[in-house]
Amino acid sequence: MKSEVYFIDFRAEREQDNIHNKLRRLFDKAGIKNVLEKQDLTAIKIHFGEKGRHAYLHPTFARQIVDKVKECGSKPFLTDTNTLYTGSRTNSVVHLQTATENGFAYSVVNAPIIIADGLYSKNSVDVEINKNHFKTTKIAGDIYNANSMIVLSHVKGHGASGFGGTIKNLAMGCASASGKQIQHSDIKPSVTEEKCIACGICAKNCPVDAIEVRENANIDHKICIGCGECTTVCPTRAIEVEWETDTNLFLEKMGEYAYGAVNNKKGKVAYFNFVMNVTPLCDCVPWNDVPIVNDIGILASFDPVAIDKASIDLIDKAIGNKDTRLPNDHIHGNDKFKAIHNIDGKKILDYCEEIGLGNLNYELIKVK
């Protein structure tokens, strides 16, 4: 059977058709209320944007979803997780500051913000999935414990995965920092002695006692399981994040983490993809390039694979904008993100269907 994906475009000639009103109609027509129950604590998963970037989802879009969730009797909160890299969202304090400065104040979004993995990304739950690469996944505790979830994703390019949409928002966006590290690389961490201050925090947080601290920290790779906990707690970044990985392996590991993010919420998750400001790189970089296609629309579904597939198909069918990162692939039908990053990001969709996360076959239903 085909999965249903509902769609609104951005054409408007009257007030009833502005984006906010259309988004609320999309919520209703797609039947999003079916994942919500009265008194649910509902996580609205969103990316608050890095400082210096303006192409993240507008806070007033989140407000429309918040208000609709409240109409259903549920209690929404906006949420994201801390980053693995050093930036303006690397712990909950600076993350909340960045979210507020980027417009996600309570007076705007009408809901509290909770950073789901805690102050230093230590609030996580090991979720059993028993897949090819992972037996368990490290999912942010407050996302795991939410009764239901609505995932708001900005579709754009990504330097490591080709593109980012719903699946990446689930995989990286719902994982603790150590979960992010495990997805990125199988290389075990090492210590840069010049940066190490022998504080011992890494040793205290190592789950298998693989770290000994004398003049510097030393990691025994025979014992180390590569969980990445030490990289996330090191105050001087003497234990560096490992990024090197095989692309296809990285995509499969992300697919499994996406599966883990929703594994305890069957029938309790809905997805929105915003295909607008389709920039070459993700919202984690503190700048944004010009969009590679014109704004297309917003999609809604209960199937994370189908909604990403439909979003990519719409982008590939569009005529690419000139004077952008697109090389020469302006005509419709070309794989635009592959042209930019030389990565076949669509492989993640095939793998996610294979492991049972969703369905590649979809029916696109236009909402007026």
Average pLDDT per 10 consecutive residues for the chain, totaling 368 residues = 97 96 98 98 97 95 98 98 89 97 98 97 96 98 98 96 97 95 87 94 91 94 84 86 85 98 98 97 92 97 98 95 82 84 96 98 97
Sign of torsion, CA 89 92 94 96?
A: positive
Identify how many contiguous H helices and E strands the chain contains and give both numbers.
Answer: 13, 14
- Is 0.95 surpassed by the pTM of this model? no
Contact 117, 139 (CB under 8 A): no
* Cα distance between residue 34 and residue 302, in whole Å: 10
Q: What is the pLDDT of residues 163-213, one digit of tens each?
A: 999 999 999 999 999 999 999 987 888 999 999 999 999 999 898 899 999
Q: Which two tokens stand for residue 133?
A: 């690469």
Long-range pairs of 24-30 with CB within 8 A, sequence gap ≥ 24: 24/64, 24/67, 24/68, 25/367, 25/368, 26/272, 26/298, 26/300, 26/367, 27/64, 27/65, 27/68, 27/300, 28/68, 29/365, 29/367, 30/4, 30/6, 30/270, 30/300, 30/301, 30/367
In which residue are the tokens 């990125």 written?
A: 184
Looking at the DSSP bridge assignments, the partners of residue 42 are 76, 148
Residue 54 pLDDT: 92
Residue 240 pLDDT: 82
Residue 331 pLDDT: 67
Residues whose CB is less than 8 angstroms from the CB of residue 307 and which lie 6 or more positions away in sequence, other chains included = 5, 165, 166, 271, 273, 299, 300, 301, 362
Contact 183, 172 (CB under 8 A): yes
| H-helix or E-strand spanning residue 27 | helix 19-29
* Cα distance between residue 35 and residue 227, in whole Å: 33
| H-helix or E-strand spanning residue 116 | none
Residue 260 pLDDT: 98
Residue 9 pLDDT: 98
Residue 237 pLDDT: 87
